[in-house]
Structure 1
Amino acid sequence: MIIRFGFVSGIGWLIDFCLFVLVGWLGVPVWAANMVGATVAVLFVFFASVRHVFEYDGGYLLGKLIAYIIYQVIAIIAASLFIDTLTHWFGLAPVLAKVLVTPLTFYANFQFMSLLTTGKLRLM
């Protein structure tokens, strides 16, 4: 399951990363560039993985989407601020800061999607 989620999330990350770089190149602050890329990517990951990765076949998908959006708003803001901190306080390049934060966000997203769709966390 985590391999399939990794594949879907990898595509989502490429979408996120490309938008992050493009929007940053346009002069948008690092935290805002991350919010744009991440928002588009997490919506893609949700719709691509809820049924195909986690094999959720129940109803109330709208309710799960709302819960996922609430979680992602918090997660994206936290990750964006963390990336911004790494960039401005520690002098890391925005792209490097984004890459360093990615494993944390991947694992947290996998756990949340698992909890949302199966009712349990999946420890690796």
Structure 2
Amino acid sequence: MLMRFGVVSGLGWLIDFCLFVTLTAFKSPVWLANTASATAAVLFVFFVSVRRIFEYQGHYLLGKLVRYIVYQAIAILTASVIIDLLTHHLGLAPIVSKIIVTPLTFYCNFQFMSFITTGRLRLR
């Protein structure tokens, strides 16, 4: 399951990465570029993975989507601030900052998707 989520998240990350690079190339603030690009990516990942990876067959998908959006709003804002801090205070290139933050966001997203679809975390 983690591998399949990794493939879908990888595609989401490509969407995120390409949009982030494009927006920063047009001089968008780093935190805003990450917020926009990550939002597009997490919506893609949610709709592809909720039924195909986590095999959620229940109803009330709207409620899960609302919880996912609230979680992602907090997670994206947090990651965006961290990326902005790494970029401006450590002098890293925006894309390097984003790459550093990505493994943590991937793991947190996997755990949250598992929790809202199965009711449990997948620590293994």
- The TM-score normalised by the length of structure 1 is 0.99
**Structure 1: runs of 5 or more not aligned:** none
> Which residue identity lines up with residue 103 of structure 1 in the other structure?
P
Tell me the secondary structure at the aligned position of residue 70 of structure 2.
helix
Deviation digits for residues 22-74 of structure 1, max 9, x if unmatched? 01111100000000100000000000000000000000000000000000000
Identity %: 66
**Unaligned ranges ≥5, structure 2:** none
Residue 30 of structure 1 is matched in structure 2 by 30
Q: Residue 42 of structure 1 aligns to which amino acid in structure 2?
A: V
SS at match of 1:50: helix
Which aligned runs of 4 or more in structure 1 are off by greater than 6 angstroms? none
Map of 2:69 onto structure 1: 69
Aligned 1:72-83 pairs, distance under 5 A: 72-83=72-83
**TM-score of the superposed pair, with normalisation by structure 2:** 0.99
- CA RMSD of superposed structures (Å): 0.4
Could you tell me how far 1:4 is from its partner in structure 2? Answer: 0.4
Structure 1 CA distance, aligned partners of 2:26 and 2:92? 19
Between the two proteins, the alignment pairs up a number of residues equal to 124
